[in-house]
Structure 1
Amino acid sequence: MELTIKNLSKTYPNGVKALDNVSLTIPQGMFGLLGPNGAGKSSLMRTIATLQAPDSGSIHLDAIDALEDKMALRRVLGYLPQEFGVYPRVSAEDLLDHMAVVKGIVNRAERRDTVKALLEQTNLYDVRKRNISTFSGGMKQRFGIAQALIGQPLLIIVDEPTAGLDPGERNRFYNLLSEIGENIIVILSTHIVDDVRELCRNMAIINQGQVLFAGQPQAAMHALKGRIWERTIEKAELAGYEQEYAVISTKLLAGQPLLHVVGDDLGLAGFRAVEPSLEDVFFSTIQGKAVQPTLVHA
């Protein structure tokens, strides 16, 4: 099973080009779509979910033409958008039952069994009678996954799912997504690099509506091996280093900037070589400072 996206473009009425000739092949399993805020991730997710039409291009889930037969795709789609609205004064059990009716499960016994199984899978069965307004952020996200799983979808899209979750809820959400992603396609759209590194076998990096990289996270990190260097400097030196070297990221360490730089043989300049991280891949790719054939998906 594959989701195939070819030459997808979308320009909004205000002139913003959200998608610029996007082509991706997404296999079964967890797929990470990584990019900064405003990169075009949500526009791509909404287009795949048939919530907006592109200006050009095609989307196929195996034999289903998503743009020509939207209902066929929606029947096998689960979607957890970035802003997931619910009725706050309705219990989790009742709202999930209502959503199952909307998804076409009209048999009451089948619907009861489906709701029970999903609440158990998302570890919400013990709180099924509680109003959703009383749920924590993580519980609401797990409920969002429960509704996305109604009807045994073949494709699930989750958009920025772990933003605002505490570490414990984030780990529970990771485990749930990993379990779900074993047998279907799950697209995880996020700007959090750790989400992709910990969950996804395949990924893409998107910025300004364009796909800059598509492949495996490990392969991307390997492509930068021997080319990532770091050094701690004084704050007053930062501007000079940014002019002289291909600085891809800086962070304060004990009050001093710690630089990560792409380059070759920088040991004599006081840098030390470090193992590339997915964060290094991300920053070097979106800044165009590590252009290598292996980092660009044709």
Structure 2
Amino acid sequence: MTTTARLAGAWKTFGGVPAVHPTSIELRPGVVGLLGPNGAGKTTLLRLLSTALAPSGGRIEVTGLDVTASHANRVQARRRIGYCPQEVVYPRGMTAVSFLDYIAVLKEWKNAASRAAEVRRVLDLVHLGDRGAMKVSKLSGGQRRRLAIAQALIGRPDLLILDEPTTGLDPEQRASLRGLLSGLAGTVLTSTHQTEDVSAMCDRVLVIDDGAIRFDGTVPELIATAAGRVHLGPSACAGAVQTWKTGTGLVRSVGGQPAPDSCVVDPSVEDAYLLLRSAGRTRQGVT
């Protein structure tokens, strides 16, 4: 399968403090979920791949172009990248259509008719076709988030990078976005705190913590790391990473010493992620 993007020992520091340690990964067509706590390096990694941020060292390739080699390569690669940052600033007074038209111009769509058709296409994809004439300032928070995703979809990018795309979306809108992303032909890299989004649509999962990739594999492979380590019973398991009372009245325990009256249950992506995080804290000597 064709490689869309590659990091070869790429790393980034800010003021001498590592944000992303030397990382080597390849991204191919499909949906890749990026999980990690706040401050783990998710946004920095996404910005490196989007070419919005230059690495401190190593090499980054996008669609076969070494974007660390020259400005010309970065410009050419950016034509094949769609990027939706966590925070989007909208020019004042613009409508949804005029904002997307502005972005399309920046992406060098010079033909007005083709540009208008593309704007209409991406608006329809995010179910904002009836909001095109509305000023962005009048849109709801969820609608503005969908508009941000729409601008990243302009031009059918080979690499679509989304930083927390489901923030502000209700459950129905999140489900719709999952359907959209899972049906795209290119490579989608999306960071999220929603583990259910990962289990619902991702072909591959990357878990990053303290600037380093701690897991790289499929959803079933991630879940398998927690097999036999999640229990349900009347009381919590001693030493569990996390416990909570479920709607059945029983307590779900992730990790720890199984209680005599508990039983093993199938783990989830969230369970596996919590256990990976716990292992990471142990490596760092944090209790």
TM-score, normalising length: structure 2: 0.88
- The structure 1 segments of at least 4 consecutive aligned residues displaced by more than 6 Å after TM superposition are none
- 8 A Cα contact 1:250 1:257, kept in partner: no
- 8 A Cα contact 1:229 1:263, kept in partner: no
What SS does structure 1 have at the residue aligned with 2:279? coil
Q: What do residues 25-73 of structure 1 show as CA deviations (whole Å, max 9, x unaligned)?
A: 2220110001111110001011111111111122223421122221122
Deviation, structure 1 residue 20: 1.1
Q: What do residues 100-141 of structure 1 show as CA deviations (whole Å, max 9, x unaligned)?
A: 111101111211221122222222121110001111222212
Deviation, structure 1 residue 223: 3.7
- Aligned residue in 1 for 2:155: 151
Partner Cα distance (1:149, 1:175) in 2: 14
What SS does structure 2 have at the residue aligned with 1:130? coil
> Which amino acid in the other structure matches residue 84 of structure 2?
L
- 8 A Cα contact 2:9 2:24, kept in partner: yes
Deviation, structure 1 residue 175: 2.2
Range that drifts further, 111-120 or 124-133? 111-120
> Which amino acid in the other structure matches residue 22 of structure 1?
T
> Which amino acid in the other structure matches residue 270 of structure 2?
E
Partner Cα distance (2:164, 2:142) in 1: 13
- Aligned residue in 1 for 2:285: none
The alpha-carbon distance between structure 1 residues 232 and 210, as it changes in their structure 2 partners (threshold 3 A), is farther
Partner Cα distance (2:195, 2:217) in 1: 15
- Aligned residue in 1 for 2:83: 79
What SS does structure 2 have at the residue aligned with 1:4? strand
- Aligned residue in 2 for 1:233: 235
Q: Give the one of 261, 264, 269 matched to 1:278.
A: 269
- 8 A Cα contact 1:203 1:216, kept in partner: yes
Deviation, structure 1 residue 257: 9.1
Deviation, structure 1 residue 83: 0.2
Q: Give the one of 98, 106, 113 matched to 2:110.
A: 106
- 8 A Cα contact 1:29 1:186, kept in partner: yes
Partner Cα distance (1:153, 1:119) in 2: 16
- 8 A Cα contact 1:155 1:186, kept in partner: yes
1:38-77 mapped onto 2 (5 Å cutoff): 38-68=39-69, 69-77=73-81
Q: What do residues 186-244 of structure 1 show as CA deviations (whole Å, max 9, x unaligned)?
A: 1011122112111101111000001000000112213432232244437xxx8xx3xxx
Partner Cα distance (2:204, 2:175) in 1: 20
1:153-232 mapped onto 2 (5 Å cutoff): 153-180=157-184, 183-232=185-234
What SS does structure 1 have at the residue aligned with 2:214? strand
Q: What do residues 138-196 of structure 1 show as CA deviations (whole Å, max 9, x unaligned)?
A: 2212211221122221101000111232222222222222233xx10010111221121
Long gaps (5+) in structure 2: 283-287
What SS does structure 2 have at the residue aligned with 1:114? helix
Aligned length: 276
What SS does structure 2 have at the residue aligned with 1:158? strand
RMSD: 2.4
Partner Cα distance (2:217, 2:66) in 1: 24
Q: What do residues 243-296 of structure 1 show as CA deviations (whole Å, max 9, x unaligned)?
A: xx3x22222447x993523368x36x333101011111101112118x9xxxxx
Partner Cα distance (2:161, 2:40) in 1: 17
